[in-house]
Chain A
Amino acid sequence: MYNQKVLDAFAHPQNVGEIENPDGEGTVGNATCGDIMRITLRIENDVITDAKFQTFGCAAAIATSSTATQMVIGMTVDEALKLTNARVVEELEGLPPQKIHCSVLAEEAIKKAIEDYRAKKEGKTVDKSKVDYV
């Protein structure tokens, strides 16, 4: 049901893990629904220089996490904010219809990580208790 590009991205995911003391971090999803994605970013002068992910979810969720992190590295935060799940799916040359919702998580996690970065920059503390793990 998955195309070869998705299978490859799932079998050999890039940027797995966590950046220590990240400049931005975002976690979305919940375990009950079956997927959680956490993205950490290293950002220098508003340019994303590194991105890592951890994902609990199906193959599509893992493949989109990997691809989305690859895509945002090198982008400015403004560019990354414009990254849609449709673009990530396009990069993967399509996902089965019932799996499209999995790709939304990557977009949301990146947005959340950038919000976190901006909030930190402005000296605000971010309420991490909003992260819903269960």
Chain B
Amino acid sequence: MKIYADHAATTPCDKRVLEEMLPYFSDEFGNANSQHAFGRDAAKAVNDARETVADIIGCKPNEVYFTGGGTEADNWALKGVALHKRDRGNHVIISAIEHHAILTSAEWLEQNGFRVTKLPVDSTGMVRVEELERAIDDETTIVSVMYANNEVGTIQPIKELAEIAHKHGALFHTDAVQAIPYMNIDVKELGVDLLTISGHKFYGPKGVGVLYIRNGVKLDKLICGGGQERSQRGGTVNVPAVVGLARALELSRVDLEKNNAYIASLRDRFEQRVEKEIPYIRQNGNKLHRVPSIANYSFEFVEGEGILMLLDFNGIAVSSGSACSSGSLDPSHVLLAMGVPIEVSHGSIRFSFGKHNTMEEVDYIADKLKETIEKLREMSPLFDLKKGGTYNV
């Protein structure tokens, strides 16, 4: 049995999306910037894709910029605005739980003379609006807070945060990579100036993303090259990928509510079983404000990599935010920001369900998870102490 429960990492490309993409590799292979008929055909496909995306997120087509993925869009938004507005101020605000694309972009800015403030979050992974009010000053040029967190799924109060940023003359960017697969987003209503989308989180292709840039917003370009993307992002447009992203986004809007309800029912079943059958756990996230797909738990006295690998032996694919498996020695910055004790954070696993998962699969994962945790706890000196009553977490 092979079960994929890691949809926050990536999703399989929908066959209908792939179909739509295929002609643009060999038959309709033109460069969208060429002046001849081949180029015009490619340009039409790109423009149609741009219109589709614009329609869905509620903006004008000329506010949609295609990039090589969510990471590039995040880099561009944060660095591009900070560098462009350097003369006005050198302060940038992000949240403590951002994806590494924003986190390391902010570190890069810091190394290059910018001041960076990371907004703290509460124990459910939620940024408090008043923290932004406190952190923002006259030198702040951009505030970037993700819409939904990729590890725990908590949905942030973007509208309120954007209002505060604007009140102080700063621009607002949100990384909506984890939100858009599950939420209808209207950029105007949300009030954001920049927004990131990645193609492969909603059954589209990898290596393609979107940065929405509100008309009137100026930022430095990061990729210098030809005149592509209205001279703001060099590089021949990846036509099949762009076509695929647009088609996948379109398909994701069909039955959005129904799919959300189904995925939430899988997650709820899983959570009920875990919480009933496995002791000494901590649920990470916000049970009211979250995307339907993610369940994140810390299992005390065991380490995440062992859990991940034993599940993998049983054909189950999940993700661990723990130190050892990612190859770095730092535990998840998201869980630490939420106040999860460091020794508990080591045993954390993210389960992220998708529309193709079944209730039977969820039950199988719960069964195997229970066995896995028991097996690893049998081996753990910490659990032994816990049973003896001398170890307190």
Interface of A with B (CB < 8 Å)? 7, 10-11, 13, 16, 18, 27, 31-38, 53-62, 96, 98-99, 102, 133-134
The A interface is mostly helix, strand or loop, or mixed, namely mixed
Asked if B310 contacts A56 (CB within 8 A), the reply is no
Give the residues in chain B near A60, CB-CB below 8 Å.
324
Q: Which 9 residue pairs across A and B have the least CB separation, nearest first?
A: A58-B324, A31-B343, A54-B381, A58-B305, A38-B381, A34-B346, A56-B380, A56-B382, A32-B342
**Nearest CB of B to A59, in Å:** 5
- Give the complex CA separation of A102 and B310 in angstroms: 18
B378 at the A interface (CB under 8 A): yes
B323 at the A interface (CB under 8 A): yes
- Scoring B378, B379, B382 by chain A CB atoms within 10 A of each residue's CB, the highest score goes to B379
Give the residues in chain A near B331, CB-CB below 8 Å.
34
Mark interface residues in B307-343 (1 if CB within 8 Å of A CB, else 0): 0011001000000001111010101000000000011
Interface size on B, residues (CB 8 A): 27
The residue on B at minimum CB distance from A58 is B324
The residue on B at minimum CB distance from A55 is B379
Asked if B379 contacts A35 (CB within 8 A), the reply is no
Q: 17 additional contacts, CB 8 Å, given A59-B309, A59-B324, A61-B303?
A: A10-B306, A10-B309, A13-B379, A27-B381, A31-B342, A31-B382, A34-B322, A34-B323, A34-B346, A54-B384, A56-B379, A56-B380, A58-B306, A59-B305, A96-B327, A133-B385, A134-B343
Asked if A36 contacts B382 (CB within 8 A), the reply is yes
- Scoring A34, A54, A96, A98 by chain B CB atoms within 10 A of each residue's CB, the highest score goes to A34
**Nearest CB of A to B229, in Å:** 37
Give the residues in chain B near A13, CB-CB below 8 Å.
379
The residue on A at minimum CB distance from B383 is A56
Given contacts A10-B306, A11-B313, A134-B343, contact A98 B378 (CB under 8 A): no
Interface of B with A (CB < 8 Å)? 301-303, 305-306, 309-310, 313, 322-325, 327, 329, 331, 342-343, 346, 378-385, 391
- Give the complex CA separation of A57 and B384 in angstroms: 14
Asked if A11 contacts B310 (CB within 8 A), the reply is yes
The residue on B at minimum CB distance from A27 is B381
The residue on A at minimum CB distance from B327 is A98
Given contacts A34-B323, A59-B306, contact A16 B378 (CB under 8 A): yes
Give the residues in chain B near A11, CB-CB below 8 Å.
310, 313
Asked if B343 contacts A57 (CB within 8 A), the reply is no
Q: Give 26 CB contacts A-B under 8 Å.
A: A7-B309, A11-B310, A11-B313, A16-B378, A18-B384, A31-B343, A34-B303, A34-B323, A55-B379, A55-B381, A56-B379, A56-B380, A56-B381, A56-B382, A57-B303, A57-B306, A57-B324, A58-B305, A58-B306, A59-B324, A62-B306, A62-B379, A96-B327, A98-B329, A102-B324, A133-B385
Give the residues in chain A near B384, CB-CB below 8 Å.
18, 54
- Give the complex CA separation of A88 and B192 in angstroms: 55
Asked if A36 contacts B306 (CB within 8 A), the reply is no
The residue on A at minimum CB distance from B302 is A56
Give the residues in chain A near B323, CB-CB below 8 Å.
34, 58
Given contacts A10-B309, A58-B306, A59-B309, contact A37 B381 (CB under 8 A): yes
Give the residues in chain B near A27, CB-CB below 8 Å.
381
Give the residues in chain B near A38, CB-CB below 8 Å.
381
- Give the complex CA separation of A95 and B285 in angstroms: 34
- Give the complex CA separation of A37 and B379 in angstroms: 10
**Nearest CB of B to A1, in Å:** 8
Give the residues in chain A near B301, CB-CB below 8 Å.
56
- Give the complex CA separation of A60 and B313 in angstroms: 16
Asked if A32 contacts B306 (CB within 8 A), the reply is no
Give the residues in chain B near A34, CB-CB below 8 Å.
303, 322-324, 329, 331, 343, 346
- Give the complex CA separation of A58 and B379 in angstroms: 12
- Give the complex CA separation of A10 and B302 in angstroms: 14
